[in-house]
Chain A
């Protein structure tokens, strides 16, 4: 009872046969696409390397150019920091891996050496200024952007360096692995608006906190973290208590 239709053993075989053909065709097509993509990628990589090599000096010297370049890389989905880890072509082309690592070391140096003074919390502009000074004048100009990228490079080390953004354009870098809770952020924001000075009364008036809450937060920052300093000669009679946050004080040269 053979039927030349779809059913039966022969029909099954024919179906399998055609599926195999389609599969072959499909893999041929995708291989062509992949080859094409590989070629394009190689081309792109060559172009990018060419660009990077040509403008290496500019990238390393000029902060604005460097920012534009890294932004371009970000849009293309290329991570300048990934280079040194994977094959090193980026490193060869740019030397930016070294540059970034060197900057990271300087940032850590500044953060650690000022930690006793500021309790591990430093204003971004201060950090940029101190690092710039350490780098000297020759091609040492850096921007906040560079600092942020270098700190990103440090992240795998688990050192806990983090950028704290106040949302009003001011940023700080925290170099000790501890959480800044919302209350401490509020204290920092208020002290920032008053040249570094803050007292319990200000927190009560401006945040609606209870005096106990204000004192508790300030005491933690003062005694445990060392992020603020005590002034017990405050006020007209010299017997008031105020707190000063070195990270938000404007230090002259």
Chain B
């Protein structure tokens, strides 16, 4: 029995380790578990990027259908990570800054950083410059649900807030509170602090 890669219906190529039963099981040997955790981290982030998924919940491990099913369930070998195992992987990702508990002070749901806030900041600023929206006030809604398709579609508010904070540090954006929510104003990159 050989372990091979697998192309999911959504067009994602699962690595061959995904067809190895012990990959889904929490390993008692810490060195082995470190390998497993690292592989899961990489897999979760690349799948999230592939499907533009921003959140991962522990409950996703128990759901045989749903947006994470292709990765969290391997029905060909009938394996899925148990919630405590997935929690371990998520804790590792949070510790590495590759995810954040959202909302904070719980550990069942994470916001995935398949782009780091610093990377989102650049994407955001490039978009604002490219669409000629410097110096005007934009609402979070206008950014996450734009009329024209953009790389920022669906970006959750906490991630947007973090990206704006990064830009604010270099004087390229300013967070603004508006009557019905949050807004932001972007400035040209050349502006001095």
Residues of A within 8 A of B (CB): 116-117, 119, 194-197, 222-223, 226, 229-234, 238, 242, 244, 249-253
Contacts and interface: CB of A to CB of B under 8 A. Distances in A.
Nearest to A117: B35
A252 B2 contact: yes
Contacts of B1: 194-197, 250
Given A231-B22, A233-B21, A234-B21, A250 B3 contact: yes
Contacts of A250: 1-3
Contacts of A197: 1, 21
A233 B29 CA distance: 17
B65 interface: no
A234 B28 CA distance: 16
A222 B29 contact: yes
B32 A116 contact: yes
B108 interface: no
B129 interface: no
Given A229-B27, A230-B22, A231-B25, A252 B32 contact: no
Given A230-B27, A252-B5, 17 more contacts: A117-B35, A195-B2, A226-B29, A226-B32, A229-B20, A229-B22, A230-B22, A231-B21, A231-B25, A233-B25, A233-B78, A233-B79, A244-B21, A249-B20, A250-B3, A252-B16, A253-B5
Contacts of A223: 28-29
B30 to A, nearest CB: 9
B148 interface: no
Contact of B34 (A116, A196, A249, A253): A116
30 contacts: A117-B35, A119-B32, A194-B1, A195-B1, A196-B20, A223-B29, A226-B29, A226-B31, A226-B32, A229-B25, A229-B27, A230-B28, A231-B21, A231-B22, A231-B25, A233-B24, A233-B25, A233-B78, A234-B21, A242-B21, A244-B21, A244-B22, A249-B20, A250-B2, A251-B2, A252-B2, A252-B4, A252-B5, A252-B16, A253-B16
Interface residues of B, number: 21
A229 B31 CA distance: 11
The 9 closest A-B pairs by CB, nearest first: A252-B4, A229-B22, A195-B1, A250-B2, A231-B21, A252-B16, A231-B22, A244-B22, A226-B29
Nearest to B29: A226
A195 B22 CA distance: 13
A223 B32 CA distance: 9
A220 B191 CA distance: 63
A8 to B, nearest CB: 88
Interface string B13-46: 0001000111111011101101100000000000
B2 to A, nearest CB: 4
A119 B32 CA distance: 8
B3 A252 contact: yes
Contacts of B78: 233, 238
A251 B5 CA distance: 9
Most buried by A among B20, B22, B23, B25: B22
Nearest to B22: A229
B77 to A, nearest CB: 9
Contact of A230 (B2, B3, B25, B35): B25
Contacts of A230: 22, 25, 27-28
Nearest to A236: B78
